[in-house]
Structures are given as structure tokens and as C-alpha cells.
């Protein structure tokens, strides 16, 4: 739906009608303030317009609207876990669904159960976002069928907008592509040629490769709500383990890696050099380790084309995916981590989302460089920790050479050590 076409208005009408018909509803917006100041505000306006002030009651914390025994439960994409305990929900309404995390239905779907969930449904409204994974989910390009019924509304369909208002909106949008997206509600696929990879390029099934090395990547962080430590292990085209460490200190992360290595021998572990001195000092005695500075020069022979090591690694990850690295569970089998816990599909979805969102440009010297990490956080509402960990396993591109040969990261470290040795005499 185009900007100003009445998306939130439509959802408020649907939500209130469902409530009056005796249903429980979950309504989601992108942020808490969007839920409070936009979506629920529209419901309040409908209640006033329909003269229902005496029968529909509102609460501020938590944000809810009630009609007798039935409730509209407000939630935001920032804090979906708060809705996990809800049940007896008949309808889920998602505002600006293109901004929702890919696992939103994994979290909210189980709420569609109970005696009143007789005809459960999910409805969403959004202005498209170029190359969003949700675009592909709407169109379901994998098998050529659609599992969403799409109703399209353009900005120009809103008869309440004056000609002057439309002129101002049109003048503010500079490119034809953005006009198609923002005003005509066109779902733009592959419109941004600067994406590292598009979702239709992901392998649809696992195919083995000749690379038998077990390569692990560990992206350390200083912790906090924004960042997690990312962990990714693969053997050729098969993912063996992936994890986002949250609420764990660096000692706990190191012990997890040691436990994994005890049952699956790691041939090469590449660790982001930032925040990793302690972990590296522990793990180097258990498996072959390399510290990789993301901002350092690309490997020898690649520094003319790539601005830094991080750009080289992510392009290598995209290369591996296009050449068979399967971002999924082999044979749809369940995968367990080193602690024996089932690995959830949400982590795999995060990796796919990060791969399809990371974009590149050319620096002043014409070299490939990635989108700024802070910009990426704003786009996907997460830090690309699992993507960075996966990229760390792709420093060298396997082409059938001796699998025992160390990758460029190890060669880089050897050269650096030799340089320091010469400096020290």
C-alpha cells in the first residue's frame, strides 16, 4: 500500500470490527511509540466516530482496548516476546509488516489457538521496502505460488488527499523507483543492484562439496542489548552450528567453543580481533586460531578491489552461498548446539536477513566497501553478529585445493609476526 493510502486506518477498522464481533486480537506496530501514537490512536478515533466510548475501554500500560470479555492486545516488533503467553487469539494484525522481523509469525502464530480461535487469520499492511525479504515472502518466489492474498492500494486512491498535498508528496520523492514504491505500492524486486545477494540466489537444497574442513567464525562484542557474540561453523556447504550468545561473558563463550571442539574437531577458527584478546588467549591452545582485524587490508592480491578485510569476507560469504552454501537445516533435520539445545529457525532467518540487507558501494579509490554497520542496524533492528561470524569462515574461497592449506588470515598473521620480528631485530 502506498504512503498515505489508509493502511493504519484500514487496520483500525478491521481490529475494532473483530473486537465487536467477539474476538481477541493482537495488533503490532514497528515500535512502542508507533503503537501508542499511531495505531491505537486510530482505534480511539474509530471508537469516538462510532459512538462507542461507553463500551470500549482503553488501558495505557499495557496498551489494550477491551470490549466486554474481548481484547485488542497491543505489541511492537521491538518486544514481541511479551506476547508469547497469549492464547485464544483469532486475528493478528501487523502494521508496516515489511519492517517486522522474519520470525514474527514464529512467535505470534502459536497464539492462534483456543475456543474463540475458530477462524484464525493474519493480516498485514505496509508500504513495500526495496529488496525486503518480506517482499519475497508475499510473493513466495521459491515455488512460484503465493501464500498471501495481496490487496494493493496506491496513495492516489485516497480521495481525502487534496491535489496540493499530492503535489507536495510527489515533489519530496526524487527517483522514479521510489515513486513506484512509495506512491504506487509496487513491490520492487532486485531494484537495488548493490545488494550482496538476493533471496532467489539462495540454494533451495543442500548439496555436498569437496571441502571437508571444519571452519568456525567467532564475532566477539563488548555485550549489551545492542550486540551479541556471533558463532558460526560450517563444513563445506553444510552448517554445523550457529548461535547468538546473549547474556554470556567471554569465559562462557570460550568454554562453549571448547565443548564444541571436543566432539567436532575445528580445523580453523577465525576470530574478529575486536574485544577478543581474552577469548583468543584461551582458545589458541585448543584449536588453530587466527585473529582477523575487520578494518585491515584485504588479503594479498585483493586489496586493489576490496577496501578492507570485512568487505572481502562478506563478498566471499555471498560467493559461497551462490556456489552452494545452504542457509538452512540439511534435509530439514533438527540441529542441536554444543549444549544440546535445539537451534531455532530464528537464528537462520537472521542470517538470511543480514545477507540480503548488506549493500556495498565504491570508495574514493574505487574499491568495494560495505554499508556502515550502524546504518545496517537501523535497517534490520539488529547487529549483524551472526553474519560477521559466517563471513569469518569464508576468508579463503575453496576451489578444490589442498584442504590443509591455511587461508589468507593465517598468512596475514604470519607476515605480521615476521614484520614485528624484523622490527625487534
Per-residue pLDDT for the chain (425 aa), expressed as one digit of tens each?
A: 667 778 899 999 999 999 999 999 999 998 888 899 999 999 999 999 999 999 999 998 779 999 999 999 999 988 888 888 899 999 999 998 877 877 788 889 999 998 878 889 999 988 776 545 566 555 543 334 445 677 778 888 888 888 888 888 777 665 566 677 677 777 655 444 577 877 777 888 888 888 899 999 999 987 644 568 999 999 999 999 999 888 888 999 999 999 999 999 999 999 999 889 999 999 999 999 999 999 999 988 888 888 999 999 998 998 899 889 988 766 556 677 777 777 766 788 888 888 888 888 888 777 888 988 777 777 677 788 899 999 999 998 654 443 333 344 445 444 544 544 444 44
Residue 182: all three cell numbers together: 512509495
Q: Which residues make up the CATH 3.30.420.240 domain(s) of the chain?
A: 200-423
At the second CATH level, the architecture of 7-182 is 3-Layer(aba) Sandwich (3.40)
First-residue to last-residue Cα distance in the chain: 68
Residue 120: all three cell numbers together: 484464525
pLDDT at residue 412, as a whole number: 43
Query: What is the C-alpha to C-alpha distance for residues 276 and 250, in angstroms, rounded to an integer?
Result: 8
Task: Indicate the fold that domain 200-423 takes in CATH.
Answer: Nucleotidyltransferase; domain 5 (3.30.420)
Q: Rounded to 5 degrees, what angle do the CA atoms 225, 382, 243 make?
A: 80
CA 184, 185, 187, 193 dihedral sign is positive
Query: What is the C-alpha to C-alpha distance for residues 194 and 73, in angstroms, rounded to an integer?
Result: 39
Q: Which residues make up the CATH 3.40.50.300 domain(s) of the chain?
A: 7-182
pTM: 0.54
Amino acid at each position: 500500500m502506498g504512503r498515505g493510502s489508509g493502511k493504519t486506518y484500514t487496520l483500525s477498522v478491521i481490529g475494532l470490527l473483530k473486537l465487536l464481533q467477539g474476538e481477541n486480537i493482537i495488533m503490532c506496530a514497528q515500535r512502542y511509540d508507533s503503537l501508542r501514537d499511531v495505531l491505537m490512536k486510530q482505534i480511539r478515533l474509530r471508537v469516538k466516530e462510532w459512538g462507542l466510548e461507553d463500551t470500549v475501554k482503553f488501558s495505557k500500560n499495557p496498551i489494550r482496548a477491551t470490549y466486554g470479555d474481548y481484547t485488542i492486545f497491543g505489541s511492537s516488533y521491538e518486544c514481541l516476546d511479551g506476547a508469547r503467553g497469549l492464547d485464544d487469539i483469532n486475528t493478528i494484525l501487523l502494521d508496516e509488516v515489511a519492517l517486522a522481523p522474519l520470525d514474527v509469525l514464529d512467535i505470534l502464530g502459536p497464539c492462534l489457538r483456543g475456543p474463540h480461535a475458530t477462524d484464525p487469520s493474519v493480516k498485514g499492511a505496509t508500504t513495500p521496502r526495496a529488496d525486503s525479504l518480506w517482499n519475497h515472502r508475499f510473493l513466495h518466489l521459491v515455488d512460484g505460488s503465493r501464500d498471501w492474498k495481496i490487496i494493493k492500494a496506491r496513495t492516489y486512491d485516497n480521495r481525502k488527499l487534496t491535489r496540493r498535498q499530492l503535489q507536495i508528496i510527489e515533489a519530496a520523492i526524487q527517483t522514479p523507483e521510489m515513486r513506484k514504491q512509495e506512491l504506487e505500492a509496487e513491490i520492487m524486486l532486485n531494484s537495488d543492484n548493490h545488494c550482496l545477494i538476493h533471496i532467489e540466489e539462495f540454494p533451495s537444497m543442500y548439496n555436498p562439496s569437496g571441502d571437508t574442513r571444519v571452519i568456525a567464525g567467532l564475532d566477539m562484542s563488548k555485550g549489551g542489548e545492542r550486540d551479541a557474540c556471533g558463532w558460526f561453523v560450517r563444513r563445506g556447504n553444510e552448517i554445523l552450528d550457529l548461535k547468538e550468545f546473549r547474556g554470556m561473558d567471554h569465559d562462557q563463550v570460550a568454554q562453549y567453543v571448547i565443548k564444541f571442539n571436543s566432539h567436532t574437531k575445528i580445523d580453523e577458527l577465525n576470530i574478529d580481533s575486536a574485544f577478543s584478546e581474552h577469548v583468543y588467549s584461551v582458545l589458541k591452545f585448543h584449536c588453530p586460531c587466527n585473529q582477523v582485524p575487520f578494518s585491515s587490508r584485504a588479503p594479498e592480491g585483493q586489496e586493489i578491489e576490496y577496501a578492507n578485510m570485512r568487505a572481502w569476507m562478506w563478498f566471499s560469504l555471498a560467493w559461497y552461498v551462490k556456489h552452494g552454501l545452504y542457509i538452512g537445516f540439511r534435509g530439514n533435520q533438527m540441529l542441536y548446539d554444543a549444549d544440546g539445545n535445539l537451534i531455532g529457525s530464528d537464528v537462520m532467518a537472521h542470517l538470511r536477513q543480514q545477507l540480503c540487507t548488506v549493500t556495498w558501494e565504491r570508495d574514493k579509490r574505487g574499491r568495494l566497501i560495505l554499508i556502515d554497520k550502524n546504518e545496517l542496524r537501523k535497517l534490520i533492528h539488529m547487529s549483524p553478529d551472526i553474519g560477521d561470524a559466517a563471513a569469518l569462515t569464508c576468508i579463503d574461497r575453496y576451489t578444490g585445493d589442498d584442504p590443509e592449506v591455511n587461508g589468507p588470515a593465517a598468512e596475514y598473521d604470519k607476515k605480521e609476526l615476521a614484520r614485528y620480528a624484523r622490527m625487534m631485530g
